[in-house]
Amino acid sequence: MPDPSEIVHRTCPLCEAHCGIAIEVDRDSGTVLTVRGDEQDSFSRGYLCPKAYGLKGLHEDPERLRRPLRRRGTDFEEISWEEAFAEAADRLREIRERHAADAIATYLGNPNAHDLGAILYGATFQKALGTRWRFSATSVDQLPKMVASSQLFGAPGRFAVPDVDRTDYFLVLGANPVVSNGSLMTAPDMPGRLRALRERGGHLVVVDPRRSETAAIADRHLFIRPGTDAFFLFSLVQVLFAEDGISLGPLEERTDGVDELRALARDFTPEATAAATGIAPDAVREIARELAAAERAAVYGRIGTCTQRFGTLASWLVDVLNALTGNLDSEGGVCFPRGAATPADDTPRKTGTFPFGRWRSRVRGLPEFAGELPVACLAEEIDTPGADGERVRALVTVSGNPVLSTPNGARLARALGRLEFMVSIDLYLNETSRLADLVLPSTGHLEHSNYDLVFDGVSVRNKAHWSPQVFAPAPDSRHQWEILAELAGRVNGASADDIHDLMIGGIARATGLEPDTARERGPEQILDLMLRGGPYRLSLEKLEAEPHGIDLGPLEPGRLPRILATASGRVELAPALITADVPRLRAALAGASDPEGLVLIGRRNVRSNNSWMHNVRALHKGRDRCVLMIHPEDAARLDLVDGARANVTSRVGEVTVPVSVTARMMPGVVSLPHGHGQGGAGARQSEAARVPGVNSNLLSDEADLDALSGNAVLNGIPVRVVPAAPV
Ligand SMILES: Nc1nc2c(c(=O)[nH]1)N[C@H]1C(S)=C(S)[C@@H](COP(=O)(O)OP(=O)(O)OC[C@H]3O[C@@H](n4cnc5c(=O)[nH]c(N)nc54)[C@H](O)[C@@H]3O)O[C@H]1N2
Ligand SMILES: Nc1nc2c(c(=O)[nH]1)N[C@H]1C(S)=C(S)[C@@H](COP(=O)(O)OP(=O)(O)OC[C@H]3O[C@@H](n4cnc5c(=O)[nH]c(N)nc54)[C@H](O)[C@@H]3O)O[C@H]1N2
Ligand code: SF4
Ligand SMILES: [Mo]
């Protein structure tokens, strides 16, 4: 008997690290035998985290949906794809005609960014609907960083990425890459890379209200009061100016706003901000001096610095510090990666002041950015009465679970129940899709090919890695891009092929190249054209020949002048949109928050991915991870002991959870992970629902935003904690 097992090499699509993996499969049974790290992948060198093995569980999960479902009362019935597409398109068209294009909202979740087909066709699908009411996980994530980049560098997607393999000094705020494996910083094996940094004599400094897994391996950890990073960062800037620590390096000639910054930072002395941040003035001065003295340093902030009240100011100040210390666009500092599927000529096609607030949400007047509105206002756009054409009546969710992932999930779930029509493109019947009229499941992660298009743009090394399909798709199934193309076509009386031809035509014109017609219509044909038109003149064929990926070298310093898209053609260190928010920060310093009150922050767990993958038993089993961490002094004051249950209340909701008493928390701060609370009538994830935990976004407040960007505040939520009544 021939051995039916075979090893397929590709990348793991589950998080931004995109580790190279070797999947051993049994072709006869269509099952995964093993998932290993690919030792020959020059980027990930065999690293993987426990989640990668979850690919097997996901592929084989009997509760993963394979066929379209239609709501029937409180349950669902399977229907054919033709019925599903016809019904979705008819209802959407009808709502658009009766009300307005803006009566249909869309919500794109995080996994879209990890799927080539979804990236390419998702944007086209949204355009085809013609709505301006577009929402996504961006506004519970990196929106502040995008607003900051748009003003500093002229483009929202130009992220300065830490050159982590060559830096000597790494200052990390509000990120826990040892667990999350890095974000807006694609770097497989962050634990190994941080170890290597220390082994070569470098320093890792972590600023976090919790002694996180990353803080635990750092040279220095500073507790910070949640939401006060902008104060701390401004103090660093103030010290740099006061002590002549500024040195912009080669970018000096291309940078504006330095004098304005000096003036803005003047009052934020370490003494003035210490009470708010909880960081002693001496510590601030030491860090400022170390940053200035380090040959090569990188400052990096992520979820904790974005999803807070001053998210944009904090994100901006992170890059300001990189610039002022000569580390922007510099080896071992922060750099701008160059993706293989980006235009070879990367001088910006459009320059100017990046637009902001071209339209506003109906109820609260929140600003549009890059074509989207903040998701914190989705519920009110549905549940607030309004005239025809003014109110959201229908919703399409694409790989998203906003009921668990966005603020005030309870209100959102109620609002979704009031829609005239809702479609969810999702792999599962979960807390969101269970409220839909139609659920359209796409093929599983191993049933389609992939390319990490988005994450090439934030990678700590330039590289290109093709991921072939591992298994043939289940019979009569549809890829995500096929679903999106079909719907995009049908709502406008066109075909999926028309949609594809339109897309590829655009890229052919931009690159001056002809598509490879030997390849079928679809994302592969489009990617091939993008690669051939890209800076390394690759092609899909060349990628297919390199199963362990192609290393395109370290980050290139000195790229920024060429790619700057600001109106001035210079780095705008003090852009008007952002500096206009500084008075709000100053006012907050004057009225510093109630030090007696507790505030809630979030965390991630290495065995799950936001709100999903909880149905994979191999990952989900074991102890309950949805516990409230609290400092011993706070626990004693509140009469809570380890393992006891507590009621946690915020302005908008209440949950009851077990507590874990630990000195790893800063006093006055409690931590609860997000992405838990699975279940609800109609949901079909029995393993997840076995130990569901609670939805931390029942506590996050849809009214509490980073006022500048509209991003949700998911860290620093005022809460009251009391012992729960015995059950
Ligand atoms: N309190 C709090 N809330 C948070 C955060 C936090 O730190 N604290 N983090 C925020 C962040 S950073 C993010 S990115 C968001 C995430 O928010 P979302 O993107 O809304 O939620 P996910 O939990 O990622 O859910 C992904 C959904 O996609 C489905 N899915 C997975 N893969 C595929 C696929 O290939 N095709 C299809 N069709 N469906 C698929 C899953 O079943 C699941 O329903 O959550 C945010 N919410
Ligand atoms: N295992 C696993 N990996 C993941 C995910 C997952 O759910 N599970 N999600 C993926 C996604 S979508 C993303 S966006 C990334 C996010 O990746 P990271 O940005 O690394 O996110 P977290 O792990 O939530 O770490 C945020 C840290 O900020 C701290 N923090 C909270 N509030 C503040 C504050 O006000 N100031 C400061 N300085 N710190 C604060 C928290 O204590 C926490 O340690 O992770 C990705 N990787
Ligand atoms: S860190 Fe884990 S989940 Fe992320 S890509 Fe690597 S193996 Fe996959
Ligand atoms: Mo995220």
What percent helix, strand, coil does the chain show, rounded to 5?
A: 35, 20, 45
> Cβ < 6 Å from ligand 1: which residues?
109-111, 115, 137, 140-141, 303, 307, 399-402, 405, 425-428, 430, 442, 445, 480, 602, 610-612, 674-675, 696-697, 700, 714
Cα–Cα dist 227/208, whole Å: 10
Mean pLDDT over 500-519 rounds to 95
Name the fold adopted by 72-131+374-446+469-542: Rossmann fold (3.40.50)
Closest CA to 238 of 328, 334, 324: 324
The verdict on the CB of residue 51 being under 6 Å from ligand 3 is: yes
CB of residue 692 inside a 6 A radius of ligand 2: no
| CATH match of 596-723 with 3.40.50.300 | no
Q: Which strands make up the sheet holding 104-108, listed edge to edge?
A: 75-78, 69-72, 438-440, 421-425, 394-398, 104-108, 134-136
Question: Does ligand 3 have an atom closer than 6 angstroms to the CB of 182?
Answer: no
Q: What is the pLDDT of residues 132-186, one digit of tens each?
A: 999 999 999 999 999 999 999 999 999 999 999 999 999 999 999 999 999 999 9
- Average pLDDT over the chain reads 96
Q: Which of 14, 41, 189 to mutate to test the pocket of ligand 3 (most atoms within 8 A of CB)?
A: 14
Please count the residues of the chain. 727
Tell me how far the alpha carbon of residue 302 lies from the centroid of ligand 2, in angstroms. Answer: 7
Residue 41 Cα to ligand 1 middle (Å): 28
Would you state the pLDDT for residue 459? 98
Distance in angstroms (rounded) separating the CA atoms of residues 621 and 466: 32
CB distance 207 to ligand 2 below 6 Å: yes
- In this structure, which amino acid lies at residue 81? W
**Using 50, 70 and 90 to split pLDDT, how confident is the model at 595?**
low
- What residue spans define the domains of the chain? 72-131+374-446+469-542, 143-341+558-588, 596-723
Residue-level pLDDT at 592 = 62
Residue 389: predicted pLDDT: 73
pLDDT band at 4 (very low <50, low <70, confident <90, very high): confident
Mean pLDDT of 254-267: 98
Q: Is the pLDDT at 672 greater than 90, yes or no?
A: yes
The CATH number for 143-341+558-588, chosen from 3.40.1210.10, 3.40.228.10, 3.20.20.140, 3.40.50.300, is 3.40.228.10
Measured from the CB, is residue 233 less than 6 Å from ligand 2?
A: no
Residue tagged 């915020």 (tokens):
650
Q: Which atom belonging to ligand 1 lies closest to the Cα atom of 401?
A: 20
User: pLDDT digit string (tens) for 322-337?
Assistant: 999 999 999 999 999 9
Q: Is 90 exceeded by the pLDDT of residue 1?
A: no
Q: How many Å apart are CA 587 and CA 78, to the nearest integer?
A: 56
Mean pLDDT, range 110-135, rounded to an integer: 97
What the block records as the tokens of 316 is 């901006």
d(CA 376, CA 365): 12
Side chain identity at 203, as an amino acid letter?
Answer: H
> To the nearest whole percent, how much of the chain has pLDDT over 90?
96
Give the number of the ligand closest to the Cα of residue 604: 2
Burial of 352 (0-12, 13-18, 19+ CB in 10 A): exposed
Counting from 1 in the atom list of ligand 3, the atom nearest the Cα of 37 is 7
Question: How many angstroms separate the alpha carbon of residue 338 from the centre of ligand 3?
Answer: 22
The pLDDT assigned to 246 comes to 97
443 sits in which H/E element: none
712 band by pLDDT with thresholds 50, 70 and 90? very high
Q: What percent of the chain has pLDDT over 70?
A: 99
pLDDT computed for residue 618 by the predictor = 95
CB 237 within 8 A of CB 204: no
The pLDDT-based confidence of 390 (bands split at 50, 70, 90) is confident
Confirm if 177 and 603 have CB atoms less than 8 A apart: no
pLDDT of 115: 98
Q: Which residue has the tokens 């890829």?
A: 479
Ligand nearest to the CA of 608: 2
Strand partners, 22: 9, 36
pLDDT reading at 118 higher than 80: yes
Strand arrangement of the beta sheet that strand 5-11 belongs to: 5-11, 20-26, 31-37
Kindly indicate the confidence band of residue 387, based on its pLDDT and cuts at 50, 70 and 90. Answer: confident
The residues, any chain, with a CB within 8 Å of residue 429's CB and separated by 6 or more, are 63, 65, 69, 76, 439, 682, 683, 684, 685
Which ligand 1 atom sits closest to the C-alpha of 696?
1
Task: Please name the helix (run of DSSP H) or strand (run of DSSP E) that holds residue 128, with its range, or none.
Answer: helix 116-129
Sheet strands (E) in 127-281: 134-136, 161-162, 169-173, 203-207, 220-222, 255-256
Q: Is the pLDDT of residue 467 over 70?
A: yes
